Structure 1
């Protein structure tokens, strides 16, 4: 079922003479149709490499065990209907884990699971998908996680679940791209997310939470047509910095904690921004350039600041601020153009 190349054999011979007894190295290379490659490793200092070319390829690397020290896995596939899965699930010993998946073609799927139960595992993963119908499902738990994703093509879907001071960087280009990211942290640190989408009918759904501590920071950029973004933060001192350029863009941001900071810029026509900030000491700074744009913003509880700027025709801005009688709230709306509507309610 498996094919070991001369290169792999040479590497194994060198490894037997130079690596310590508890180190593991494996390599598989396959080409053709309906290939399957599996590598299961346990112990410390694991190295796994799989390369497949063809149709209906399946690759699995499982580096689970009591130690996650030095786990490294790489899967590279080209063709159609490829499937790649990497598991790095470890017990109580600290260590490092890294995973990489590279796929080109159509109908590709990738699954990455990096988990540490009791130790101090720092997990990193890199995924690149080129083609149509690509799917990625990634899970990272514990502390110091980092995930970098690049997907290009049509009908690409990225689903990410992270916990523990995690960083996610996702770049998508093409048509009908989707990214769903959930970052749940603990302690004094939150999540950090950078999402870039370029194309048509892009969708981004981001959620951050960290108990009573800062939930995290989100940097969002969407370029193209019919972009939709939903940002939610469950705790205080969260930030959102967004840019949308194109036609028919929509942003929905709901922050429930205190001290949230939202700043953004949208350029184009028929853009819609819906923002809700609940908690204390919130700030909002939003600018829109174009026609038929709309902003609907709400700030609740104590001490708010809001600045809204619209340039163009037939724009609408609605702002509502709720505070206690002794709190301060400031609001500023600037509109340039024709047929604009502005409404401010402070209570």
Structure 2
């Protein structure tokens, strides 16, 4: 058994000597812990920890170039980064965490896939109990960024998976709030998807935002950034090609809460823009199936609701071969119910 162990150690030493791996570590403070493992060529790790009880784990098991840079300051931060399964070349991970409370922050970035190439993942967190997860599998030229401050916020980005890849996609989650929790999730498959979620300006607590895109050239934008946006749910689901959806929910006064909005588009060239501005408990659902469906509204605002307890439903279904449908909706006041249902060409 000792001979086997010594053989493994010798093999690792030879690999480190000739495979041109590079690792740099700088720790100051108390009870910091860092563990890095490298196999392959031109792997680079830079770790700087300054604070108390920070934990870092890096794995780079690939014959292609990878780079990871982790900086942690403050209290009880945990960073786990993985670039395995012969991923690369030219994948890059950056983690920058500052723990301001005993709860600490957690970051997980995984680029472990043979077809993850030239992708970038960045985690920026300052606060306590913040959690960021970025998974890039079968991701080519993808960029994913989570940017969080405050407390108890959760951000998750997934680009590609083992069955379908993601190419030239961009995903960004920003959550700036001290009132957490906030929860944001982006999942993208296909090509050239662009999804951005903002839950900032001390919004919350208990806001939930989700963007799911499967297809090509989809753009999803969701903004629940208002001091008075509380316990609000926003969702965008796009399947197909060239879909564009914007969803914004903003509070009009103190303690605005309980609103929900959902946009689901299945087909090609669908466009939807929803804005809920004002009181509490507004409910909006927009569903489009087919080709070239459009929902818009006054002054460019689609599905505009101002007030409280409004209910808006727009359903459009059109098969290929027709020009599609067009819907314009505006509700002002409280207790309004609006329904538009269009089927056919």
Give TM class, smaller chain: 0.3 to 0.5
TM-score, length of structure 2 as denominator length: 0.44
Q: Which has the higher strand share?
A: 1
TM-score, length of structure 1 as denominator length: 0.44
